[in-house]
Amino acid sequence: MSELESEAMEAEFDTVAGWTEEAVRALGPEYAIPAGCRGSGSEGALRWLADRLDLRPDTRLLDSGAGVGGPAGWLAAQRGLRPVCAEPMAAAVRAGRRLFGLPSVVAVSQYLPFADASFDAAWCLGVLCTTSDKAGLLAELRRVLVPGARLGLLVFVADGPLPPPLPEGNEFPSEGELRRLLADAGFRLEASAGADLGDSPEEWTRRADAVEAEVERRHGADPAFGQAQEQSRRVGRLLSDDALRGWLGVAVATGG
Ligand SMILES: C[S@@+](CC[C@H](N)C(=O)[O-])C[C@H]1O[C@@H](n2cnc3c(N)ncnc32)[C@H](O)[C@@H]1O
């Protein structure tokens, strides 16, 4: 195993990322943003965060754990920014760079190849629950942000013990733990809300589904496809049973 905490996560975030790019190429560029939002899922969640990040066209924004780049591509299209993407899975970075033309680097969020205080804002969507080193990730995000910068988060939180089978490699914090981690890393939570991951426009959902179907048509027999499907099925079941919930937050970097 290389960068991530389980083989199933590598199937989901690396192999399927490459396949997603291939399917978008087959279907058309208008499919790229909905298909490239792997975890953030809903346009409503992106808009809720973007509205609270104090963004201007010249804001230097980092998307940490950017995946295939859909959320960063959405920000570029909707708010005229040029986000910088960092993501540990090389196939996802390649896909994001080619689909959205944004500056992108292969890096885990705990070790970012940027100087201190190089960004005015950041977001990190669906990433914190994929690593056990949450404190290290948040400390590194704090390091690369200027004081007063805002950090947007989408985190899947668990209010109690989760019923198996669990998605491999994930560690879901409680909301209390998340709030403590943020404060310890030098962030002041400014706003939070529940994430309704089903509030995208119909056309968005139709395009995301079409890309998924195209990936399945091309690679459905590959064991990595089955592994990735099982991971998202497990997360989906926990969400629909209300054992897990999507949490959105915006926090301000303190100090300086
Ligand atoms: C659920 S996906 C979300 C991707 C993207 N943020 C989005 O919303 O579409 C989680 C992403 O986190 C990445 N990831 C996992 N561990 C990471 C880490 N330690 N640092 C940065 N990214 C990580 C995975 O490779 C994957 O692309």
Cβ of residue 85 lying under 6 Å from some atom of ligand 1: no
Task: Return the pLDDT at 69.
Answer: 96
Query: H or E element: which one contains 95?
Result: helix 90-100
Counting as low any pLDDT under 50, the low residues of the chain are 1-2
Please report the atom of ligand 1 found closest to the CA of residue 89. Answer: 25
HSE at residue 237, side-chain half, CA atoms within 13 A, is 12
Task: Return the pLDDT at 10.
Answer: 82
Every domain of the chain and the residues it spans:
7-253
Nearest protein Cα to ligand 1, atom 8: 40
Task: Return the pLDDT at 1.
Answer: 37
Task: Return the pLDDT at 3.
Answer: 65
Tokens 């689909």 sit on residue? 99
What is the C-alpha separation between 22 and 26, in angstroms, rounded? 6
| Residue 126 CA to ligand 1 centre (angstroms) | 6
The arrangement of secondary structure in 7-253, i.e. its CATH architecture, is 3-Layer(aba) Sandwich (3.40)
| Residue 66 CA to ligand 1 centre (angstroms) | 6
Question: Phi/psi at 207 (nearest 5 deg)?
Answer: -70, -45
pLDDT in tens, 191-227: 999 998 778 899 999 999 999 999 999 999 999 999 9
Residue 79, classified by CB atoms within 10 Å of its CB into exposed (0-12), middle (13-18) or buried (19+), is middle
Task: Return the pLDDT at 255.
Answer: 87
Task: Return the pLDDT at 141.
Answer: 98
